[in-house]
Amino acid sequence: MRLLYFYTLYLLLFCSAALSMPGDSPVPGGILVLPVDNNTTPVKFLDKRGTFFREKEQLYALLPVPLETAPGRYKAYIGADVLREVEIEGKEYAVQRLKIKNRRKVEPNREDMKRIAKERKRKRRAKSFRSPGLANVDFIWPLEGIVSSPFGLRRVFNGKPGSPHKGIDIAAPKGEPVVAAADGTVVDAGSFFFSGNLVFIEHNGGLVTVYAHLDKIAVHPGERLKRGDIVGYVGSTGRVTGPHLHFGVMIDSVYVDPLLFLPIRHPSTPPAEKLSKISHSPTGAKSTP
């Protein structure tokens, strides 16, 4: 176990430069990374607005592929012109069955539903926030820990089907510091029914990251952050099975796989077929965004 820890640390420290830009992934929940000549003409894919970033001297359009996208051939547009025809491949996401002790987190009462409705509006505002400028895509991992749940899982809570998992869960002990994945501005921060203590950070151009289930929040709305600044601390607030961080990435309010932005594929990500065998201990903690 000690050898595995140091090997993981070695990969995180010395292989992080292997990915300096997001990886193109034309699948549901993936992203399109397309070279462009300018960042003044809006880009769209399936009516979702993309953003732009620069890698060295080249500009790129960054477009989300919604999780519900069916396999097939589609067109990405820059203004009214076709930027590229893209073949979206199918992708199967595993089913994850979770047992939540607090039944209200699965079957909210009337007062809970009123709160949830208000929070949905608040979340929509945060997710759709877009500031000018090129997106900051030079991400680092927000937390060292085991990836206990990957993106896209079809989840079942106490036997009831829920929404797909729209981020990754990184399990770690309560109180571990969580840092900003990239430079950005805190759009919102507060307590939410399902997500617990939650922070939204916008990284220019409508690229937003979320940090959920925190024990404590260390930032406030409007605060400018540098990559690596502390956002909060690992907790188990909201609908969870143990302490961990739920980390999500959005483009134009569309959740995409965070692993496409992070420096390396986390070596401790479990194979999909083993997900159902992960214990509900802190090292196997899971959540809902």
The DSSP secondary structure of 71-118, one letter per residue, reads SEEEEEEETTEEEEEEEEPP----EEEE--S-GGGTS--HHHHHHHHH
Report the C-alpha gap between 143 and 211 in whole angstroms.
10
Does residue 119 register a pLDDT over 80?
yes
pLDDT grade for 110, boundaries at 50, 70 and 90: confident
Report the C-alpha gap between 229 and 90 in whole angstroms.
37
CB 156 within 8 Å of CB 162: yes
Query: Residues 18-26: what's their mean pLDDT?
Result: 76
Domains defined along the chain, listed by start? 92-284 (2.70.70.10)
Residue-wise pLDDT for 194-227, tens only, equals 899 999 999 999 999 999 999 999 999 999 999 9
End-to-end CA distance of the chain: 30
The two tokens of residue 206 are 């409508």
Q: Is 213 helix (H, G, I), strand (E, B) or coil?
A: strand
Among 167, 200, 191, 187, residue whose Cα is nearest residue 115: 191
Does residue 15 register a pLDDT over 50?
no
Q: Which of 82-91, 102-111, 131-140 has the lowest average pLDDT?
A: 102-111
Among 170, 164, 18, 168, residue whose Cα is nearest residue 91: 164
Task: Specify the pLDDT at position 282.
Answer: 33
Report the C-alpha gap between 105 and 194 in whole angstroms.
7
- Mean pLDDT for the chain? 84
Residue-wise pLDDT for 56-98, tens only, equals 999 999 999 999 999 999 999 999 999 999 999 999 887 777 7
Report the C-alpha gap between 256 and 23 in whole angstroms.
12
